[in-house]
Amino acid sequence: MAANSTNPALEPDPDRPDHPGLELAQFGAGCFWGVELAFQRLVGVVKTEVGFSQGHVPDPTYKLVCTGTTNHVEVVRVQFDPDVCPYSNLLSLFWSRHDPTSLNRQGADVGTQYRSGIYYYNEAQARLARESLEAKQKELNDKNIVTEILPAKRFYRAEEYHQQYLEKGGGKGLCQSAEKGCTDPIRCYG
């Protein structure tokens, strides 16, 4: 029997939304904890998961991704209802949550896993992502955006303790609201 020569980590994400009419989106914008909480609060987002994508190692762990050897990005995968929350709303939130001109870092978090990326599931998302990048670049004038826009590769869900981490209290036990429409500041802590 011949060995399978394809690497599943390099293939498109095979997952589908939980219900008809929903769509998936993936975003990398630094540490996934704060980004996930921001998306949880958005009306029309029905589910968020944090994990890893765009790398070359199947089934990576958080510890392995942090070595910088897998090329994975920390991402938030969002399930959303496009009739309630257009993809453009997700893009607006994405751009507002991080510095897209900072290569492989967000604040004190440094490494390729913290790079900025929009990972699309269809050509409509790809077009809107490119248009939003062009609009954001005009706002920033002389600072160059380093955000990558690529097809979504296989999503590997991070360990359970990372899921809804800040809503559950993070490392300090201080729960933060994921209520739809909440505008409380998001505090990231390990």
Q: What DSSP character marks residue 95?
A: H
Measured CA to CA, the distance from residue 19 to residue 146 in angstroms comes to 34
Could you tell me if 168 and 157 are in contact, meaning their C-beta atoms sit under 8 angstroms apart?
A: no
Measured CA to CA, the distance from residue 53 to residue 65 in angstroms comes to 10
Q: What DSSP character marks residue 171?
A: G
Measured CA to CA, the distance from residue 153 to residue 121 in angstroms comes to 9
* Closest listed residue to residue 116, CA positions, set 9, 13, 31: 31
Residue 72, token pair as written in the block: 């994975």
The verdict on whether 31 is a catalytic residue reads yes
Only one residue has tokens 């600072």, namely 143
Choosing from 31, 66, 175, 182, which is the catalytic residue?
31
Could you tell me if 23 and 87 are in contact, meaning their C-beta atoms sit under 8 angstroms apart?
A: yes
- Which residues sit opposite 59 in a β-bridge? none
Could you tell me if 117 and 80 are in contact, meaning their C-beta atoms sit under 8 angstroms apart?
A: no
Supply the residues annotated as catalytic.
Answer: 31
